[in-house]
Amino acid sequence: MPDLVVNTGPIIGLTAALGDLKILDSIYEEILLPKEVFDELSAGGKDCAEIRAIDAVSCVRIPSEFQKIPVLLGSELDKGEASVIQAAIQQQVSVVAIDEKQGRRIARLHSLKVTGSIGILLKGKRNGFVSDLEVCLDRMQAQGIWISRELREQALAD
């Protein structure tokens, strides 16, 4: 069973922060990346940094089938977030990685635990795989990823 189901935002955020996704192989045995999410990332082309980063790790599993998303879930969220939540429910995975506020809220309503880019970086830091969290956050922001001042300060204080 996967440890985590991940959405587009954390893949983009971690790639911006670290240049790759090798941290995922270090802290998770298996991560499910729904086909819908992979297709969103693939829109940038096969040579985009995120696709190269996914290809370089062994823990990410991409199903060959799309999720059957309930109408209500699909009406509240974009296809990627809805597929992450639905995959977690169907496969009984208790944790999802979603950065967007609405997706995180809906995931919690479905009794899922939520993490995101920064949560994964913090887990990596606690386990000795991230040496300088501030540099990671700076890189994310330099790539146009918005991080509130409060969240940044909270993460750096952890």
- Prediction pTM value: 0.94
pLDDT of residue 45: 79
pLDDT of residue 73: 84
pLDDT tens for the chain, 158 residues long, are 889 999 999 999 999 999 999 999 999 999 999 999 999 999 977 789 999 999 999 999 999 998 898 888 888 899 999 999 999 999 999 999 999 999 999 999 999 999 999 999 999 999 999 999 999 999 999 999 999 999 999 999 98
pLDDT of residue 47: 82
Which 3 state secondary structure label does DSSP give 149? helix
What is the rounded distance in angstroms from the CA atom of residue 72 to the CA atom of residue 17?
A: 34
Domains in the chain: ranges and CATH: 4-157 (3.40.50.1010)
Say if residue 129 is exposed, middle or buried (CB neighbours under 10 Å; 0-12, 13-18, 19+): middle
